[in-house]
Amino acid sequence: MCGIVAGVSGQNIVPLLIDGLKRLEYRGYDSAGIALLQKGEILRLRAQGKVQSLEEKVREAKPSAHTGIAHTRWATHGIPSEINAHPHVSGKIALVHNGIIENYQLLREELQGAGFKFSSQTDTEVVAHLINFYYMKEQDFLTAVRKASQRLEGAYALAVICADRPDEVIGLRRGSPLVLGLSDSQGIFVASDIFALLAITRSYLTLEQGELVHVQGKGYQLYDS
The nearer residue to ligand GLU, 76 or 203, going by C-beta atoms, is: 76
Closest-approach residue to ligand GLU (CB): 2
Asked if 99 interacts with ligand GLU (CB under 6 A), we say yes
Beta bridge partners of 171: 159, 213
Residues 6+ apart with CB under 8 A from 113: none
**Beta carbon of residue 218, minimum distance to ligand GLU (angstroms, whole number):** 30
The 122-141 site mask, x for binding ligand GLU (CB under 6 A), equals: xxx-----------------
The nearer residue to ligand GLU, 121 or 216, going by C-beta atoms, is: 121
Asked if 83 interacts with ligand GLU (CB under 6 A), we say no
Asked if 89 interacts with ligand GLU (CB under 6 A), we say no
Query: Which region among 10-18, 69-77, 128-136, 137-145 touches ligand GLU (by CB under 6 A)?
Result: 69-77
Asked if 183 interacts with ligand GLU (CB under 6 A), we say no
Asked if 74 interacts with ligand GLU (CB under 6 A), we say yes
Query: Which region among 91-99, 138-146, 185-193, 207-215 touches ligand GLU (by CB under 6 A)?
Result: 91-99
Asked if 200 interacts with ligand GLU (CB under 6 A), we say no
Total residues interacting with ligand GLU, rule: CB under 6 A: 15
**Beta carbon of residue 187, minimum distance to ligand GLU (angstroms, whole number):** 24
Asked if 73 interacts with ligand GLU (CB under 6 A), we say yes
Start-to-end C-alpha separation, the chain: 24
SS (H, E, C) the chain: CCEEEEEECCCCCHHHHHHHHHHCHHHCCCEEEEEEEECCEEEEEEEECCHHHHHHHHHHHCCCCCEEEEEEECCCCCCCCCCCCCCEEECCEEEEEEEEECCHHHHHHHHHHCCCCCCCCCCHHHHHHHHHHHHHHHCCHHHHHHHHHHCCCEEEEEEEEECCCCCEEEEEEEECCCEEEEECCCEEEEECCHHHHCCCCCCEEECCCCCEEEEECCEEEEECC
Give the residues lining the site for ligand GLU (CB under 6 A): 2, 73-78, 84, 97-100, 122-124
